[in-house]
A and B are shown apart, each in its own frame.
Chain A
Amino acid sequence: QQQVKQSPQSLIVQKGGISIINCAYENTAFDYFPWYQQFPGKGPALLIAIRPDVSEKKEGRFTISFNKSAKQFSLHIMDSQPGDSATYFCAAPRDTGRRALTFGSGTRLQVQP
């Protein structure tokens, strides 16, 4: 059972557009929500992360929006580029007090030139 539910499964965006990926979680005790980017055959790379005490965090073209009451968080990629084409995973601690991660099912993003 996926503890973090991610959507959509795949996403096609035009160059310069905004890519939005959503995740929902169940455990209100979760205190850390990272997003990872993964290229085929490579290891996941941390993109950006947020804690529940803030509602938004921005790093360059990447923004996390966090809605604690709805138990949802989303990744926004502004000015999407073909080089952003990858699979994106949201994640959370696998259990309260645990640091190992449980991942969403992933979103395959394709940015068309």
Chain B
Amino acid sequence: AAGVIQSPRHLIKEKRETATLKCYPIPRHDTVYWYQQGPGQDPQFLISFYEKMQSDKGSIPDRFSAQQFSDYHSELNMSSLELGDSALYFCASSLQGADTQYFGPGTRLTVL
């Protein structure tokens, strides 16, 4: 079965640079969630989208923004990167109203 696709899988950036992470949900899934997981930490919810509209907002820094496109894929844009942004970033998808979220393999972001 098709799963959530994230790209790139690994990304290395310098401080103050920008990064764009992409997420392609499971076909027909219309809701996308973004989570950040620091080393040895649990995933923390950042933001979610349904039908191209932001549906919920968690602990996403103002330096980050995200959007969902008409084909339901989503992009997380990160600017003015800081060392503390180094983490695994997961995208999860679901059908609207459904509880089950399916996580992608993640993007490992390293900020030097």
Name A residues whose Cβ lies closer than 8 Å to a Cβ of B. Answer: 32, 34, 36, 41-46, 49, 89, 94, 98-106
Contacts and interface: CB of A to CB of B under 8 A. Distances in A.
Nearest to B6: A43
Given A34-B99, A44-B90, A100-B48, A94 B42 contact: no
A100 B33 contact: yes
A105 B99 contact: no
Interface of B: 4, 31, 33, 35, 41-45, 48, 56, 58, 88, 90, 94, 97-106, 108
Nearest to A95: B56
Which of A45, A101, A104, A106 lies at the interface centre, i.e. has the most chain B CB atoms within 10 A of its CB? A101
A103 B48 CA distance: 16
B100 A49 contact: yes
A98 B57 CA distance: 10
Contacts of B105: 42-43
Contacts of A46: 100-103
Contacts of A94: 45, 56, 58
A61 B22 CA distance: 35
Contacts of A41: 88, 106, 108
A67 to B, nearest CB: 20
For the complex of A and B, 6 pairs with smallest distance between CB atoms: A43-B103, A103-B42, A100-B45, A32-B99, A44-B103, A43-B105
